Amino acid sequence: MNWTVSKRLDGIGEYYFSTKLREVDELNKAGKQIINLGIGSPDLPPHPDVVKALQEEASKENQHAYQSYKGVPALREAIAAWYQKYFKVEGINPATEILPLLGSKEGIMHICMTYLNEGDQVLIPNPGYPTYTSAVKLAGGTPLYYELTAENSWAPDFENLEKSDLSKVKLMWVNYPHMPTEASNIDLS
């Protein structure tokens, strides 16, 4: 049998951060001592009390099963409370409006696979998180980039976007704080 890669991967290319991490690794191996300010992976072990608590929980007989796909209710309730406290977002239903994920890529891919069909267009910020483009293409959508500028505090220029033909646009990616600029003073009201 001749194994070939799926056509849906045409034009996707290697993930941006995968390329960068490999380059950093190669530079480190060459003795350059590169400090990685990228992904934010912990470089210190957890506090011993955390390790102890994890060990205690892992040794309980009722802790060895698959978790609910929606996550633990206490976690979802804590997330809702956090949004209320820090962003004054009221009325979030933890049972139906919060879904803990392994990471952002999982959620972005699920959204694209759920809502996009071949030919649907998606507005993606530039600069923006490279995963938006990859997930949109994998789901058969077409990326349409909208420019973000420092002059506009890295916020979308909605007036300019409204002048465009948005008839095929099905999704628009906007995130807060903005990735990669970390702008958190965006007023989306």
Are both 76 and 118 inside the same structural domain? no
54 located within any domain = no
Q: Which residues contact 84 (CB under 8 A, 6 or more apart)?
A: 90, 92
Domain residues for 78? Answer: 70-100
The answer to whether the pTM exceeds 0.85 is: no
Q: Left if phi > 0, otherwise alpha if psi is -120 to 50, otherwise beta: which for 34?
A: beta
Are both 139 and 171 inside the same structural domain? yes
52 located within any domain = no
Are both 96 and 164 inside the same structural domain? no
- Contact indicator for 137, 11 with CB cutoff of 8 Å: yes
In this structure, the dihedral spanned by the alpha carbons of residues 71, 76, 77 and 83, taken in order and rounded to 10 degrees, is 170
Are both 87 and 148 inside the same structural domain? no
Residue 117 has pLDDT above 60, yes or no: yes
Domain ends where: 61, 81, 100? 100
d(CA 109, CA 15): 14
Are both 81 and 153 inside the same structural domain? no
Q: Which residues contact 69 (CB under 8 A, 6 or more apart)?
A: none
Cis peptide before 73 (omega within 30 of 0): no
Predicted pLDDT of residue 186: 53
Are both 124 and 178 inside the same structural domain? yes
6 located within any domain = no
Predicted pLDDT of residue 40: 66
Strand partners, 169: 121
132 located within any domain = yes
Element of type H or E holding 146: strand 142-147
Query: How far, in Å, are 17, 25, 81, 131, 176 from residue 13 at the CA level?
Result: 12, 20, 40, 12, 26
What φ, ψ does residue 41 adopt, rounded to 5°? -70, 140
142 located within any domain = yes
pLDDT tens digits along 36-84: 776 666 778 899 999 999 999 899 988 888 877 888 899 999 999 999 9
Are both 171 and 111 inside the same structural domain? yes
Are both 110 and 176 inside the same structural domain? yes
DSSP state of 143: E
Are both 109 and 178 inside the same structural domain? yes
DSSP state of 46: P
Residue 105 has pLDDT above 70, yes or no: yes
164 located within any domain = yes
Q: Look up the CATH number of the domain holding residue 173.
A: 3.40.640.10
Total tally of structural domains belonging to the chain: 2
pLDDT tens digits along 156-185: 999 999 999 999 999 999 986 666 777 766
* Percentage, residues of the chain above pLDDT 90: 53
- Contact indicator for 100, 79 with CB cutoff of 8 Å: yes
130 located within any domain = yes
Are both 111 and 177 inside the same structural domain? yes
Query: Could you tell me the pLDDT band of residue 7, with boundaries at 50, 70 and 90?
Result: confident
Residue 189 has pLDDT above 60, yes or no: no
